[in-house]
Amino acid sequence: MLRSLSYIFLISTMCCYSLLALSQPIKIHLLQPEITLEYAEAARFSQVLTDAQSQIDYPIYALGLSLISPNKQTLIEQKKSLILKALSDIDSAESTHIAEQLKSLHFAYREKIETRLQQVRTIKKNNPLLTHDYTLSIPTRPNFIRLITPKQTPTPLVKQLPNARLKDYMTPDIAGDNYDSAWIIQADQSIQHISGIQWQGQNHYLSPGSIIFVGLDNVPDQYQHLNQDIAQLLTQHLEL
């Protein structure tokens, strides 16, 4: 009986906390333009997107739109710190080049979420209830691809080319001649690992603002997942 009463008390407490969170006011800070949307209580993502886009006077690039959670920024900083330490431990010219490029970029915790308004409105799972403050980045469509390679710094920006192969972007002066694989980080945070680049003639679609990352070769065994970790970190890159 005592256990049952304790369980009921726990459930009641959790329900009270949930109701309290739903009734709390929230703020959505827009990076472009720099304004704040205020809501008296939790709001659906579709409502926030609609209100935010009504403030925009330029073509919106939905794939690059980012819902940023300030409460989770520490996770990104910790991951970046671990990666930079590993690159420092490897201590080669190539790892130093990668580290310098990562240090020059801005990272934020981008929620993995559908950002096309029509898809958010019509599919329930794409339309979560936002119960705390967020930052929202609504960029215009970029015309470049960003490359991160062990070959050079700073990070080069290359004009997006129609029907291009990866090799068309990865010229010897940018990527060198010895690479055979690369990671593609699309604007919507999806990742592809492409191998056989030197001999394959296959085209790969790159959304505007995508990142091509050429990883390090011959990394020590304790850092065997380093290139993958860097690619994952790059999904949290925020173009400012």
The answer to whether residue 49 scores a pLDDT higher than 90 is: yes
- The total of other beta-carbon atoms located within 10 Å of residue 61's CB is 18
The answer to whether residue 177 scores a pLDDT higher than 80 is: no
Q: Which pTM does this prediction carry?
A: 0.87
Output the average pLDDT for the chain.
88
Instruction: In the chain, count H helices and then E strands.
Output: 8, 11
For the chain, domain boundaries: 72-107+142-235
Write down the CATH number for the domain with range 72-107+142-235.
3.10.560.10
Task: For 90-105, write each residue's pLDDT tens digit.
Answer: 999 999 999 999 999 9
> What span, in angstroms and rounded, lies between the C-alpha atoms of 187 and 58?
18
Is residue 16 very low, low, confident or very high in pLDDT (cuts 50, 70, 90)? very low
Task: For 55-68, write each residue's pLDDT tens digit.
Answer: 999 999 999 999 99
Give the DSSP letter string of 200-219.
--------TT-EEE---SS-
| Cβ contacts of 80 within 8 Å, gap of 6 or more | 102, 107, 233
